[in-house]
Amino acid sequence: MEITFEMIDDILIVVLSGELDHHSSEETRDNIDRTYDTFQAKHIILSFEGVTFMDSSGVGLIMGRYNKTRERKGKIAVVGCSEYITRILDLAGIYTIARCFVSREEAVAALDERGEGEIWNA
């Protein structure tokens, strides 16, 4: 699993590439959490454009990052999901806690434009 990060304002963009499974999820989670805390980000966008395989540990990774963003009154979004990843996230109920966008730019715009009191409709 390869991970790259980008910060835009208070949004941490996490670009994932490779297989997100029980072998890579712990290290991936630790890297995301460390970067999120270091930069004091509020929101997280997870980009799955380069993910070729994901199992239930990937769902757990998203759930844990959702809990972290909630502590800072932030939101989580996912982008670039293949049909395969979309099906897994839909079956796991992730779209009730995270919005899905076609692109990172679309997700950043949605996070920048929302009001502080606005409900995030997944």
Say yes or no to pLDDT of 117 above 60: no
pLDDT (tens digit, 9 = 90+) per residue, 58-111? 999 999 999 999 999 999 999 999 999 999 999 999 999 999 999 999 999 999
pLDDT tens for 14-40 read 999 999 999 999 999 999 999 999 999
Using the 8-state DSSP alphabet, how is residue 95 labeled? G
Burial of 87 from C-beta contacts in 10 A (0-12 / 13-18 / 19+) = exposed
> What would be the CATH architecture of the domain defined by 2-113?
2-Layer Sandwich (3.30)
Assign residue 79 a region: left if phi > 0, alpha if psi is -120 to 50, beta otherwise?
beta
SS3 77: strand
Does residue 120 register a pLDDT over 70? no
Q: Please say if the pLDDT value at position 118 is more than 50.
A: no
CB 122, CB 114: distance < 8 Å: no
Strand partners, 6: 13
